[in-house]
Amino acid sequence: MNWRKAVASIAGCLMVAGGIAALIKTNKKEMSADATLQLLESKMKEQSFDPHLIVELISTFNKRIDTYGEKAFSKWLSKLHYSVPEEFQEEQVAITTYEKYETWMDEEVEKLENETKLPWQTQTEDLKILDERARKAQLVLRHRMTELAYELI
């Protein structure tokens, strides 16, 4: 093969590869909120979230999408970075969430203590809420939701 044919062949391969990369990038950018929620739900099931909590979280995220739009939801999710989702920042809401899913929450708190090698009290020092049920719920939600968001990015 002469050098002109080789260059043409390489250029053709690069154009095809570039086209595929652009298509993947476009499809990823344009992934609908429904697809994102389906992926989140799938990941939550994979990570053994409490099934009723999954339903509650998906419902909460659907309301967020209805209120702020798909684009804002995607941006919010990508910037979650270990912050407590706004819907769970109020102490009473966090307490109620903890009480509804107490067994799962306690299991996750224990897992987080093992993963980070830090007691949950240290991991929640930045949370201003005094009630430990609320702090545990917020710890688990912010940590696990951030992990899910990072998996989707």
Residue 44 burial by Cβ neighbours in a 10 Å radius (0-12, 13-18, 19+): buried
CA dihedral 140, 84, 118, 103 (to 10 degrees): -20
Length of the chain: 153
H/E stretch holding 21: helix 3-29
DSSP string, 45-99: HHTT--HHHHHHHHHHHHHHHHHH-HHHHHHHHHT-TT---GGG-SHHHHHHHHH
Rg of the chain over all Cα atoms, to the nearest angstrom:
21
Which pLDDT band, with edges at 50, 70 and 90, does 32 fall under? confident
**pLDDT tens for each residue of 94-153:** 999 999 999 999 999 999 999 999 999 999 999 888 899 999 999 999 999 999 999 887
**What values do phi and psi take at 34, rounded to 5?**
-60, -45
Please tell me the pTM assigned to this model. 0.77
